[in-house]
Amino acid sequence: EADIYQTPRYLVIGTGKKITLECSQTMGHDKMYWYQQDPGMELHLIHYSYGVNSTEKGDLSSESTVSRIRTEHFPLTLESARPSHTSQYLCASSEFVAGGLNTGELFFGEGSRLTVL
């Protein structure tokens, strides 16, 4: 069982609201990631971090932002939610293994399902 937690699991909000999706892991992993997944579709990387004070954009353009002030915490923020942001957001982490972004086993949280009305 992976020790990575996401809150909230489900969120329904109105257009224009600011939201923050929380992600915390207790495994001491340096690398953390945010993925977006629509029903029946593949996961797309929207943000990642190699460690504290490191954040990078992924291969899918996103209007969200992230921060990494503590190793264990990697929140994702949407300043002004829109219906197009409706999706499932998955947080993941992996330990640092030399060889680049994709080495190391990924551990995923349970996901946050966001619906914007």
Tally of residues, the chain: 117
Q: Which lies closer to other proteins via its Cβ, residue 2 or residue 13?
A: 2
DSSP state letters, 12-76: EE-TT--EEEEEEESS--SEEEEEEE-TTS--EEEEEESSTT--EE-SS--S-EE--SBTTB--E
| Residues 3-22, interacting with other proteins (CB under 8 A) | none
Q: Say if strands 112-116 and 10-13 run parallel, antiparallel, or are unpaired.
A: parallel
Map residues 88-107 to x or -, x wherever contact with other proteins holds by CB under 8 A. --x-x------xxxxx-xxx
Q: Which lies closer to other proteins via its Cβ, residue 17 or residue 86?
A: 86
Query: What's the closest the beta carbon of residue 57 comes to other proteins, in angstroms?
Result: 10
Please answer whether residues 94 and 50 qualify as being in contact, where contact means their C-beta atoms are separated by less than 8 angstroms.
no
Residue 7 forms beta bridges with which residues? Answer: 22
Q: Which lies closer to other proteins via its Cβ, residue 17 or residue 22?
A: 22
Map residues 25-64 to x or -, x wherever contact with other proteins holds by CB under 8 A. ---------------xxxxxx--x---------xx-----
**Residues of this chain that bind other proteins (CB under 8 A):** 2, 40-45, 48, 58-59, 90, 92, 99-103, 105-111, 113
